[in-house]
């Protein structure tokens, strides 16, 4: 069965191009020129993944992400944020903090774009998959794997699917230097790409959401990261 994708962008030419490229790659694609039409469509069907332009008319992409993450039906749906904003990094970081799983800047490298979407869909848990029954603890933080839940001092902290996987990977590999390439392979399930800052931006959002954990996560310059409990 084809994966169902939604693409939200106010640029008609970009919508047509993405629909063509993704359609040829084997996806069932629906396009939306406004965030309102997209959000209205969710009452009928929820896509397997959404590609979302961060610069939208009437409502910013980060507000759309917030709505999706607050809705039970779309809470875990993968979101790929795309942006041509001159603000660049601030918009990207805010989008990741709110729940985007991936981002890419315009103009898009279409081959890489499709590969990242395929990787996201592969690592998104299926409803029928039996969940693990393990919990991890670090200080006041409890990570419940079967629920993809993180609690700190009894309060839930919302993480995206990739942020959760990244956190679990660090917790399971303490006192070990891990390179960005290793993280792309093990967490992102994709080939190492030293030109991407995706890993760094996800680590940055993890540190902000989980300050106590972040205090034990060291940056090894030019190499990667070291989690030192």
Range of the domain at 142: 135-227
Q: What is the pLDDT of residues 99-153, one digit of tens each?
A: 888 888 888 899 999 999 999 998 876 544 444 457 899 999 999 987 888 999 9
* Same structural domain, 96 and 163: no
Residue 102 buriedness (CB in 10 A; 0-12 / 13-18 / 19+): buried
* Same structural domain, 64 and 89: yes
Provide the pLDDT confidence category of residue 197 given band limits of 50, 70 and 90.
Answer: confident
Query: What whole-number distance in Å separates Cα of residue 162 and Cα of residue 153?
Result: 22
Question: For the chain, what is the domain count?
Answer: 2
Higher pLDDT, residue 212 or 87: 212
pLDDT of residue 131: 46
SS3 category, 170: helix
**Prediction pTM value:** 0.58
* Same structural domain, 141 and 192: yes
Query: What whole-number distance in Å separates Cα of residue 152 and Cα of residue 143?
Result: 9
* Same structural domain, 147 and 110: no
Q: What is the pLDDT of residues 126-137, one digit of tens each?
A: 544 444 457 899
Q: From the DSSP assignment, how many helices (H) and strands (E) are in the chain?
A: 9, 12
Q: What is the pLDDT of residues 61-75, one digit of tens each?
A: 888 998 898 888 888
Mean pLDDT score of the chain, rounded to an integer? 86
Query: What whole-number distance in Å separates Cα of residue 68 and Cα of residue 76?
Result: 9
Higher pLDDT, residue 100 or 194: 100
Residue range 170-193: mean pLDDT, rounded? 87
* Same structural domain, 198 and 90: no
| Residue 31 covered by a domain | yes
* Same structural domain, 171 and 90: no
| Residue 130 covered by a domain | no
pLDDT of residue 106: 85
Angle (CA) 206 209 211, round 5°: 90
Assigned token pair, 127: 């409803």
Does residue 184 carry a pLDDT above 60? yes
Assigned token pair, 227: 């989690």
| Residue 128 covered by a domain | no
- The candidate with the shortest Cα–Cα distance to 123, out of 169, 165, 81, is 165
pLDDT of residue 85: 60
Q: What is the CATH number of the domain that holds 95?
A: 3.40.50.2300
**Quick check: 138 and 229 in contact, CB under 8 A?**
yes
* Same structural domain, 146 and 75: no
Instruction: Among 94, 122, 150, identify where a domain stops.
Output: 122
Instruction: Among 93, 122, 151, identify where a domain stops.
Output: 122
Assigned token pair, 7: 């693409």
């Amino acid at each position: 069965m084809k994966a169902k994708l939604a693409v939200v962008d106010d640029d008609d030419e970009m919508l047509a191009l993405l629909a063509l490229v993704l359609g040829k790659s084997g996806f069932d694609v629906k396009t939306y020129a406004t965030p309102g039409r997209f959000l209205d469509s969710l009452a009928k069907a929820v896509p397997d993944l959404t590609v979302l332009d961060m610069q939208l008319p009437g409502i910013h992409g980060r507000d759309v992400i917030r709505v999706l993450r607050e809705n039970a039906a779309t809470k875990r749906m993968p979101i790929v944020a795309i942006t041509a904003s001159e603000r660049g990094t601030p918009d990207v970081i805010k989008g990741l903090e709110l729940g985007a799983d991936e981002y890419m800047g315009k103009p898009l490298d279409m081959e890489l774009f499709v590969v990242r979407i395929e990787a996201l869909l592969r690592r998104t848990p299926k409803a029928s998959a039996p969940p693990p029954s393990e919990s991890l603890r670090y200080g006041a933080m409890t990570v419940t794997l079967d629920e993809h839940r993180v609690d700190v001092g009894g309060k839930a902290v919302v993480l995206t699917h990739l942020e959760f996987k990244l956190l679990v990977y660090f917790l399971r590999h303490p006192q070990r230097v891990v390179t960005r390439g290793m993280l792309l392979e093990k967490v992102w399930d994709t080939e190492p790409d030293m030109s991407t800052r995706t890993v760094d931006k996800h680590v940055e959002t993890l540190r902000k959401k989980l300050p106590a954990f972040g205090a034990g996560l060291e940056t090894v310059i030019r190499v990667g990261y070291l989690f030192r409990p």
